Amino acid sequence: MGDFNEVRRKEDRWGTAFNVFGTRFFNQFISSVGLVEIQLEGYNFTWAHPSASKMSKLDRFLVSDG
């Protein structure tokens, strides 16, 4: 499990800028090292600004495929 400070898709951010290049790089990294994301239950976002005006899903559980 890690706090990667990057999202995998646009829906993982709300109220803040979406960086398509960062997302593409992050997803390519995950694929190139053979990681698979385990889907977690619970809230859609794992980080929120204190005012709740910005939210992101930053925490993920990635495991090796094999």
**Where in the chain are the domains?**
2-64
Torsions phi, psi for 20 (to 5 deg): -65, -35
Q: What average pLDDT does the segment 41-45 reach?
A: 90
**Residue 46 clears pLDDT 70, i.e. is over it:** yes
| Amino acid in the structure at residue 27 | N
pLDDT higher for 33 or 4?
A: 33
**Residue 63 clears pLDDT 80, i.e. is over it:** yes
Q: In terms of C-beta density within 10 A (0-12 exposed, 13-18 middle, 19 or more buried), how is residue 8 classed?
A: middle
pLDDT class for 59, splitting at 50, 70, 90? confident
**Residue 66 clears pLDDT 80, i.e. is over it:** no
pLDDT at 1: 59
Alpha helices in 1-66 (DSSP H): 20-32
Tell me what percent of the residues of the chain surpass a pLDDT of 90.
71
Residue 13 in contact with residue 56, Cβ under 8 Å? yes
